[in-house]
Chain A
């Protein structure tokens, strides 16, 4: 069965909603509906997202990307650790 999914990609936070029985429902992750729009690389090279990624921003800004929405559509290359 196909599901309709809507994504609100915000500069700071994002959320995802689906339509169930004709009604929209915002999905929650670990009780949080708003997910910080942040992606990062953990120390062992795993991709981490949301609050977990935001938690390491102060410690490892070179391994964490936030406010990516502002750069979408531009030519700018974003580095995430040793990846681009």
Chain B
């Protein structure tokens, strides 16, 4: 063990007696060779370590990129799967909307006819009164059916909304080709040109991306 303040490289020379120079020289030579060998080994190990570190860093970067790609691709795959399901459901929603609209119009017409017939001469007779009662019953049943359809429509819309689907706003809004598709124009002096006045087909978005453009009628004054 060397004492404090003594250079460890010179310990051998300090400890060795000056008289034994013939034995010291081969010892130093061996030590020198050993030091050089260790130095070379250290250099080689150091180079290998640097190379391994570089390989590791590249591997980590590649893995990180691959993970990011996998994450991106899986997010896209989830979006595409949701979008495909939503597209299928839009056909159901469209049909429900159409049947509800038809039923509403039909009920309005039936109501109008009943009001006309109430004022007529025929309903003074018992058979006609029975006919009128059947009519009223028919309207009532149809109203209940319409209510069921509307509830079904609301339920499907709730499912779509919980999946992140949003309807595109149209009526009274300015036309924006990023969200709306103009299918027709209409002259309207009371409205600003470019205002949407009717919606032919509902548009939908999912996670900020368009699933279906809203098809609209837009004000255009020549």
- A interface residue numbers (CB < 8 A to B): 30-31, 40, 42-43, 48, 51-59
Contacts and interface: CB of A to CB of B under 8 A. Distances in A.
Determine the interface band of chain B, counting residues with CB < 8 A from chain A: 10 to 19
Contact of B184 (A53, A54, A58): A58
B110 interface: no
A30 B213 CA distance: 12
B180 A55 contact: yes
Contacts of A59: 175, 182, 185, 194, 218, 220
A47 to B, nearest CB: 12
Interface in B45-98: 80, 83
B185 A58 contact: yes
B177 A31 contact: no
A31 B182 contact: no
B159 interface: no
Given A53-B177, A55-B181, A59-B194, 11 more contacts: A30-B209, A30-B210, A31-B83, A40-B177, A52-B177, A55-B182, A58-B182, A58-B183, A59-B182, A59-B218, A59-B220
Nearest to A58: B182
30 contacts: A30-B209, A30-B210, A31-B80, A31-B83, A31-B209, A40-B177, A42-B177, A43-B194, A48-B177, A52-B177, A53-B177, A54-B181, A55-B177, A55-B178, A55-B181, A55-B182, A55-B213, A56-B175, A56-B177, A56-B182, A57-B182, A58-B182, A58-B183, A58-B184, A58-B185, A59-B182, A59-B185, A59-B194, A59-B218, A59-B220
Interface of B: 80, 83, 175, 177-178, 180-185, 194, 209-210, 213, 218, 220
A52 B182 contact: no
